[in-house]
Each structure stands twice: as structure tokens, then as C-alpha cells.
Chain A
Amino acid sequence: MSAQWLTETEAKEKRQTDIGPPHYEKFLPPVIKKNYGDWKYHELLEPGVSVHVANSGDKVFTVRIGSPRILSTDTIRDMLEVADKFCGGYIRWTTRNNVEFLTDKEETVKSLKAELQKRGYSVGGIGPRVSNVVHTQGWVHCHSACTDASGLVKAMMDEFHDYFVEKSLPNKVRLAVACCVNMCGAVHCSDIAVVAVHRKVPHIDHELVKNMCEIPTTVASCPTRAISPDPGKKSIKINADKCMYCGNCFTVCPPVDIHNPENDGVAIMVGGKVGSLRKGPMFSKLAVPYIPNEPPRWPTVIKHLKTILETYASHARKHERVGEWIERIGWERFFSLTGIPFTFQHIDDFTFMRDTLRTSAAFKY
């Protein structure tokens, strides 16, 4: 422990509890504070620059950059230097891990943008294009992960960089990655998403189960009732036919280990959205059931994502989200246009079966 750390007594004296976060007003740029709740309209000026105009006539320009979400303290300091130089020290993050630099002076925009680019940041991500990827922790930090998230995201965003900084699409495309079916990253409602999946029944370490786990809780954790007690071993057993590899038992009882490097991998889901514009929010649906983990750059995943994005870009009508486009053309056409094979895994045998089987004699080939 280094010398300048607070001692236990000092820490006890200093600490406060239940104070909540600092009030956001402390951090609002003056032009925002002045026009709070009184904005008139906004416009996209470039893929990474927008302007919001207030009823008072004041303007605030936003220059947005991407970030890898994992940021070192030094990189944030580097961003703060830019904020100090051009934005009075104010800075904001977006819900998708982008960083925004705000200024009320139009003449600052150009030099702000140039400075950011000079320091190696990608400016973009606003408007009808790919924004940053919402993602989870992966091998970097989560015990449940059956793939990495940051690495996949890096490979994806390298591939789609043009769609972040420049090229436009029919509408926004929200990408997401979750490193297990817990889906900390809202994958289940994204335009194009990657979710990591297991494919093998968990391996049970009976000795450890005996010592570490509560048997009734572990049995109860299984959504398909695949688990039952094994009184002889003072452990549990799993009915392999019923297991759908969700890993919930592992979350409750770690010695039931579901990791399996040869068989773990990822699935690709498409067509979800959260906004209510035109159509209500939509869940993402399965496009590709399994692709093995191929670190460091997951080339097969990237190939499929690229096919899906480019098929959408060339076929969708203006303003259609991925899911709206697929609903219009039909899923049979989605599979034929993308060349993705349709398999038994695409037919739901879980929660949504009744809703998803076709009950009409009208369909396409």
C-alpha cells in the first residue's frame, strides 16, 4: 500500500454515504443551461457534426467522436485537454459510448474537429449511419463470457468505419454485442447484433457442487427443468435433452461449468429496434445460429455482418430500419438475398413458437 493512500481512520472521517451523483447542472455548458428545455430544431451538418438551435437564436454545435468504451485515464485526460481548449472544459458521453464536444461558436467547429482528428479520434456517428456498438464486458472482465466483446467490436467498427465517419445508410443501424445470453447490452432489440452462445450441456464437478452450491436453488434456476437432485452424489444431474445451454445454472452454482472453448461461439440476430417510430419496438431475430469464436478478429462473423449490412443498404427504402425492411420483403426473401442458409435452429421451439410459425398459405419462394 503506497504512502499517500488514505489511512483507515482518515477514510472513515472523510467518507459520506447516500449523497447520490453530483447535480448535473454543475456540468452543463452555459449555452445549454441558458436554453435548457427551449430548443427549436436541430440539423445534421456532417456525419459527426450537428447543430441545435434554441428559440432564443442561440446555437450549440456538437462534434462527436467514437470511443472503444474501455478508456484509460490518460486517454480521457487527452479528451479533457481538447475540451479545455475548445469547449470551456465541458464534455459529454452518449448512451452508445461516443464522446461529444460542444461549442456555441460556429467558427470553433472546424478547428475542434481538426484537433480531434489530429489526435487520432474518429469523428462521426450522427444521423443515418452506424453509431458506436453497445456492448458488454467479454473476456476482459466477466465470468460468464463465452466470447470477447471489445475485440469483436473493434473488428466490426474497423470494417464499418466508413459508415461511421462518412457513408450514409437508409436509416440508423444500431449494432450490439453481448458476450452471453444475459445480454447486458440490449442485443435483443438492435438492428444487427452478435450474441455469444454455448452449445454443450454444462460439466458438473460433483465434489465442488457438494461444497459450494445450494441444491434446491440450483434445481430451481433451470428454466426448462433439466436439472434434478442427485441424492447419491449429494449433487445434481442434468437431463441433456432438455438443456438449452442458457448458463443460468452456472450463474447460481459455479462448479456447473458451461464453458466449452471448442463449442462456444456466437449467433447473429437482426431486425430489432427500440424506438416507436412508424412501427413499434421490435425484437431482433435469429439470422445465423452459430459461428465459432475466431479471435483475434472473428473474420466469419465480420463477413456475415457485412453481407447483412450491405444487403440492407442496397435494398431498403429511405428511412426503413433493418427490421422494417425485412418485414416488408419477408424473411424468406431476407434469407435468399443474403444467402444465409435457413436451418432447424431458425424455427422457434422455445418462448415464441406460436407467434412465429406461419399460418397462411401465402408466401414467397
Chain B
Amino acid sequence: MKKYDTPLLDELEKGPWPSFVTEIKKAAQKHEAAADELGQLEKSYKTKRGYWKHGGIVGVLGYGGGVIGRYSNLPDEFPGVAHFHTVRINQPSGFYYKSDSLREILDLWDKYGSGLTNMHGSTGDMVMLGCKTEALEPFFAEISSRGWDLGGSGSALRTPSCCMGASKCEWSNIDTMNLANTLTQAYQDELHRPMWPYKFKFKIAGCAVDCVASIARADCSIIGTWRGDIQIDQGEVENYAKQGMDIKAEIVDMCPTGCMSYESKLEINNAECSRCMHCIAKMTKALGPGPEKGASILIGSKAPIVVGSLLSWVVVPFMKMEPPYEEFKDLADKMIEWWDDNAKPRERIGELIEAKGMRPFLEAIGVEAQPQQVYEPRKDPFFFWKDEDLG
């Protein structure tokens, strides 16, 4: 069904990269909503502005989140997108799917929705784009009866997400997928019923390569690491050298702590290694993480709005991460409780720590001050003393 001429968007069907315009057109053959999405988007391309209204409150019964309201500003001109809500479906850890199961979702989305998806949103959920208000309940009933649930939105826990970790990556120090699944299940209420000052995100990476960008986008970043010596297979080191790798230039000289040397064999002064992953990632056959696995817990990252971007700060340098993860859940509960008790509306935990100081936060969660938490000590002498510190 071709409803509109789209000369500007048609330009975006040229070139080698797969085109989202082609995708919308495909869906438009079956769905009026997708056809009108195309029409409204062409208008945006012409006038250089968007035509979506602010999200209103919509959702499914008993949930405060999971659906993001989206209404067109031009409902008369584009009735198919008068309401065009986003439904977030909680993704399985690691984004693995089986065709029969995914096909069920696709069929239901053709039945109730626009036929358009984001695989995936940047938070991780499978994002179904463009649901009419009256389709929300039956669509949810159908997917939930087949074992799927909604993700989070609003001032709630957002869908935890993780790297593929132990499923395929030999560098993973923790079972990221199991942890993401466990946290998602443990926090169902917090995920679906917004009741906090603002959003809260867990992102889990198996190692410092951080394939889910946890350090930049998660209120709580869990990053796998190890203690003990990096495992070396000297035979494989030789093979790399034979195959032409310049081990001195590419590995030893690029080690940020200068703790490696290479004469007849590769030596690492493990006490000085900061576990940055460079050498392991470049000599994947020869080197592997040390024997005692766990994770570093970092807190607070967010995008720039309102007062600038934050990266997550180290709070717990090393914690064991094995099911059922009680130690971590305890810590997470304490962090969230402190934030919930103290934050203003729309204040992320990182901003709150900045406003109140790291000390009150660390005291609230029962963590000692440690040099691993800072790059360097402060440069000014304006510190706070408590009576108990004076001794």
C-alpha cells in the first residue's frame, strides 16, 4: 500500500548499507501505521523537524512501565500514527533467540502492531515500534502467555543488560548472562512499577573490554576482573612472534603499567599489572585472565543531561560473583535505598553522590575508603571532619 510520495526518503534506499526506509516500506505493505510513519517522516525530512508529541501515560494493567506513550502532532494528516506507542519487551540475556520462538513474537506484532521493530533499543529491550492504545492489553496478554514480559521504563529499574560473556567469550570473568537474568528476575517489581526518583540501570560486562559500555551508561556497572597471575602459554607467545607480531612494540611497549618484558620469553610482573586487558585481547591464544575471578562494582555513569556526563566510579574493587549473588544484591539494595531516600526527582545516583559526597554514600553502603576508588587523592585541604574522626 503506497500512500505517499517519499522522494527524500527514497534517496536513503541507495547505497550498500541496508536501508531503514526499505524496512518501513516493507512493513507499510501490510500496516497502515507503518505507511503513515513513512508519510510523517518524509514531512520531517522536508521541514527538518519532528512531529511527535510528548509521551503521555499509557501502559498495561498493573504495570507502570514498559510502554512509552507516543502520539503524533499531526493525527489528522497521519491517522495511522495518531498513537504509535513503544512496547519494550525484555530481551533474553545475550540477545540469543530461537527461530520458532521469535517467529511467534513477529506474528503477534503483525497482528497487533505496526510490523516495525528495533532489534534492539540501546537499553537492550526488543523494542516494538508503534502500537495502538487498544492493542496494548491483548498484545501483552499474548506475549506473556508465551513466556515473554515487558522491560522497564520511567523512574524504574531499566532492563538489565550484559555482554555475551561466558557463552562465547573466553575473556569473561563472570557469568554475565546468568547474573543479568538473575537480577532481572529478582527485581521484577522494581522493573515494572516505577517508584524511584529516576531511572536506574545495571549493565554487566565480563571484562574490562566492556562490550556493553557499562562504564558509560549504567548507574551500576559490574565489570568482570581477576586476581592472581595472567595465564601464559609461552609456546603460543612464540607462535605469535613467528607469525610476525612485533611483541615488543605491540604488547610490551603498549602495556600501560610497564610491567611486561620480552627477551627469550614473555614475563609479567603481575603485582604491577592493572588488569587492563590489552595484552590478553591482543594475544588471545597465549594469554588468559588469572585464576581468581570476580567483578569490580562501579557506580554512577550517565549521559550529559543535566549537568554533564559521568563515568562510573569504582566503589568495590573486587567482589566474588557466583550464584545466588547475595553479597551483590545486598550491596545493590543498600545503594538504591540510599539514593531513593536522598535524591530529588530526576536525579541519578551519580549526581546525588556528586552533590552529597562519596563519603556519605560509602558509609551508607558499608564500604571502606580504598586507594582503588581514586586516581589520586584530593588537591585541596578543605575536608570534612566528624567528631568521631577526631578520636
Q: Which residues of A contact B (CB under 8 A)?
A: 1-2, 4-8, 10-12, 14-24, 26-29, 32, 36-37, 39-43, 52, 60, 62, 66-77, 80, 83-84, 89-95, 97, 99, 120-122, 134-146, 148, 150-151, 153-155, 157-158, 161, 164, 178, 181-189, 217, 220-221, 223, 246-248, 251, 254, 259, 261, 264, 272, 274-279, 281, 283, 293, 295-297, 318-319, 350-352
Most buried by A among B18, B47, B119, B184: B18
Contact status A93-B175, CB under 8 Å: no
Contact yes or no, B44 A139, CB < 8 A:
yes
Q: Which residues of B contact A (CB under 8 A)?
A: 8-9, 11-12, 14-21, 23-24, 26-27, 34, 37, 41, 44-45, 47-55, 60-63, 70, 84, 86, 89-103, 106-107, 109-112, 115-120, 122, 124, 129-130, 134-135, 137-138, 140-142, 144-145, 147-149, 161, 163-164, 166-170, 172, 175, 177, 181, 184-185, 188-189, 192, 208-217, 249-250, 254-256, 276-278, 281-282, 284-285, 303-309, 311, 344-346
- Complex contact B17–A277 (CB within 8 A): no
Query: Which among B14, B44, B120 has the greatest number of chain A C-beta atoms within 10 A?
Result: B44
A158 touches B106 (CB 8 A): no
A184: min CB distance to chain B, Å: 5
When C-beta atoms are compared, the residue in chain A nearest to B23 turns out to be A72
Provide the residues of chain A in CB contact with B34, threshold 8 Å.
Answer: 72
Pairwise interchain contact A19-B12, C-beta atoms closer than 8 A: no
Contacting residues, chain B, for A188 (C-beta < 8 A): 216, 303-304, 309
- CB neighbours of B95 from chain A (8 A): 92-95
Please tell me which one of the listed residues B23, B93, B282 contacts residue A319 in the complex, with CB atoms under 8 A apart: B282
Chain A residue, CB-CB nearest to B102: A80
Question: Do A248 and B311 touch across chains, with their CB atoms under 8 A apart?
Answer: no
Taking a contact as CB atoms closer than 8 A, the residue among B47, B49, B98, B120 that contacts A93 in the complex is: B120
Is A139 a contact of B109 with CB atoms below 8 Å?
Answer: no
The one of A32, A39, A295 in contact with B48, judged by C-beta atoms closer than 8 angstroms, is A295
Q: Is the CB of A139 within 8 A of B50?
A: yes
> Which residues from chain B contact A32 at a C-beta distance below 8 Å?
96, 167-168
Q: Which 4 A-B pairs have the closest CB atoms?
A: A351-B308, A158-B15, A11-B141, A39-B170
Contact A352 B134 (CB under 8 A): no
Of A2, A26, A154, the contact of B19 (CB 8 Å cutoff): A154
Known: A11-B138, A71-B23. A184 touches B303 (CB 8 A): yes
Please name the residue on chain A nearest to B95 by beta carbon.
A93
Best-buried of A62, A72, A217 by chain B (most CB within 10 Å): A72
Q: How many Å lie between the Cα of A158 and that of B21 in the bound state?
A: 14
Closest residue to B100 on the A side, CB-wise? A89
CA gap between A346 and B120 in the complex, in Å: 34
Assess A274 versus B210: contact at CB under 8 Å? Given A5-B112, A97-B119, A120-B18: yes
- Known contacts A39-B170, A275-B208; is-contact A69 B118 (Cβ 8 Å): yes
Cβ 8 A contact of A26, one of B48, B53, B98, B345:
B98
Evaluate contact between A67 and B210: CB separation under 8 angstroms: no
Q: Could you show 28 A-B contacts with beta carbons less than 8 Å apart?
A: A4-B111, A5-B111, A5-B135, A10-B141, A14-B144, A15-B144, A21-B91, A24-B94, A28-B167, A68-B19, A72-B34, A73-B106, A140-B41, A141-B86, A143-B55, A148-B44, A148-B45, A151-B45, A154-B12, A154-B19, A157-B17, A161-B15, A186-B122, A189-B309, A223-B305, A261-B49, A277-B209, A281-B216
State the CA gap A23–B134 with chains docked (Å): 29
Q: Which residue of B lies closest to A44 (CB)?
A: B284
Residues of A within 8 A of B100 (CB): 89
Give chain B residues whose Cβ lies under 8 Å from the Cβ of A19: 144, 147, 149, 188
Q: A143-B54, A154-B12 are in contact. Are A161 and B17 (CB under 8 A)?
A: yes
Q: Measured between C-beta atoms, what is the minimum distance from A320 to chain B in Å? A: 9
Apart from A21-B91, A66-B17, A352-B308: 12 A-B pairs, beta carbons within 8 A = A32-B96, A39-B168, A68-B23, A89-B99, A122-B16, A139-B41, A143-B52, A143-B53, A144-B50, A188-B309, A274-B216, A277-B281
- Asked if B122 contacts A134 (CB within 8 A), the reply is yes
Return the chain B residue nearest A265 by Cβ. B48
B110 cross-chain contacts in A, Cβ below 8 A: 73
- Cβ–Cβ contact B141 & A296, under 8 A: no
A66 to B309, CA, bound (A): 29
Instruction: Report yes or no: B148 in contact with A83, Cβ–Cβ below 8 A.
Output: no
**B116 / chain A contacts, CB cutoff of 8 Å:** 70-73
- List residues of chain B with CB within 8 A of the CB of A186: 122, 213, 216-217, 303
State whether B166 touches A22 (Cβ < 8 A).
Answer: no
Residues in B whose Cβ lies below 8 Å from that of A296:
8-9, 11-12, 45
**A11–B98 CB distance below 8 A:** no
A75–B274 Cα distance when bound, in Å, is 45
* Cα distance, A276 to B285, chains bound together (Å): 20
Q: Which residue of B lies closest to A162 (CB)?
A: B16
Interface pair A261/B122, CB less than 8 Å apart: no
What is the minimal beta-carbon distance from B315 to any residue of chain A, in angstroms? 16
**Residues A83 and B304 in contact, CB atoms below 8 Å apart:** no
Interface centre among A5, A36, A92, A141 (most CB of B within 10 A): A141
Among B89, B129, B181, point to the contact of A23 (Cβ < 8 A).
B181
* Interchain CB contact under 8 A, A66 and B141: no
| Residues of chain B lying within 8 A (CB to CB) of residue A134 | 122, 213
Interface pair B305/A72, CB less than 8 Å apart: no
Residue in B111, B164, B213 whose CB lies within 8 Å of A274: B213
A234 to chain B, nearest CB (A): 20
In the complex, what distance in Å separates the CA atom of A161 from the CA atom of B254? 30
CA distance A350 to B309 in the complex (A): 11
B96 close to A295 (CB less than 8 A):
no
Q: Are A154 and B17 in contact (CB under 8 A)?
A: yes
Q: How far is the CA of A95 from the CA of B95 in the complex (A)?
A: 8
Specify which chain A residues have a CB less than 8 angstroms from the CB of B189 in the assembled complex: 18
Assembled-state Cα–Cα distance A187/B307 (Å): 16
Question: In the assembled complex, which residues on chain B have CB atoms less than 8 Å from the CB atom of A278?
Answer: 254-256, 276, 278
In the bound complex, how far is the Cα of B217 from the Cα of A184, in angstroms?
A: 9
Q: Which residues of B contact A121 (CB under 8 A)?
A: 18
With A21-B184, A72-B115, A264-B49 already in contact, the answer to whether A281 and B86 are too (CB < 8 A) is: no
